[in-house]
Amino acid sequence: MKEIENLKETILKDYPKLGKGSEFDFRCHKDVSCFNMCCSDVNIFLTPYDIVRLKNRLKMTSQGFLDRYTLLPIDESQNYPVVMLKMEDDEKKACPFVGSAGCTVYSDRPWACRMFPLGVASPKEDSQKGTSEFYFMIEEPVCKGYAEKKRWTVDQWVKDQGVEHYSEMGELFKEISLHDYFKEKKQLTPAKLEMFYTVCYNIDRFREFVFESTFLKRFDVDEETVAEIRKDDEELLKFGTNWLKFCLFGEKTMRVKSDVPTQRQAAVSTQAGQL
């Protein structure tokens, strides 16, 4: 994680800042000499929405996907759990989803893969006050796509690669991972860390928590929302964001049912971060 923080500082200090109208040349295709090479021995952090798209594409449960395709790096400086895509255990350390013809899950590939060769620096990640979100070119010496004469604006690239909806869903994760709670150097309890992991990454288990526990007896959730989160993973992620704001940070984003005895309401809030 220290390496990642150093990279962030380098980006903020040295990388040219690009806006939506900034232009660059790039094209990736099977005839470029480095085709597929950028998909080996690389750290790809997965967002909650990345996992939803991939596990559904592969027709797997979220637990099955996490067990087979992810790593959970541990670092003392971490405020919350992060999930990385596990490379194959071979000499190339290749992405498990790359074949000879390219990406086998292309239409459901992660946000980071869609954005390449661009990166994004967000305001709350920026230590320099007054700097708004900006894009930057990722420096990857092995990549020959930079030399291809295909001109894009940043905005054109984002739309062409289908990034927009991924970014919209990613904002939900930022609301939690970049919360002021962590800026104040506060630490989550083990139970709340487990809840964070479950809601963000193990969406099927979170659905079980909602529907197979006393959750809906304790919290006032309208019938339309209940119907949506029962079958729709995206809606469940949105619901989960509000739940985490409530159980991790004490925000009033959930309503305890009025018929829950007053003396039990404090206990409900205390137990909220526990599975």
- pTM, to two decimals: 0.88
pLDDT computed for residue 230 by the predictor: 98
Helix axes 190-201, 203-211, angle to 10 degrees: 110
Could you tell me the mean pLDDT of each successive run of 10 residues in the chain, 275 residues long?
53 77 95 91 96 98 98 87 95 92 96 95 55 83 92 97 96 95 93 97 98 97 98 98 97 90 49 54
Say which residue the tokens 């790039």 belong to.
Answer: 26
pLDDT for position 6 = 52
User: Quick check: 180 and 28 in contact, CB under 8 A?
Assistant: no
Specify whether the CB–CB gap between 44 and 85 falls below 8 A: yes
Residues near 208 by Cβ (< 8 Å), separated by ≥ 6?
none
Tally of CA atoms within 13 A in the half-sphere of 85 that contains its CB? 27
Report the sign of the C-alpha dihedral through residues 192, 62, 176, 131, in that order.
positive
35 and 99 in contact (C-beta within 8 Å)?
Answer: no
Indicate the domain borders of the chain.
2-162, 188-271
pLDDT computed for residue 126 by the predictor: 46
pLDDT for 127: 47
Residue (of 30, 1, 11) closest to 127 by Cα position: 11
Give the pLDDT score at 263: 44
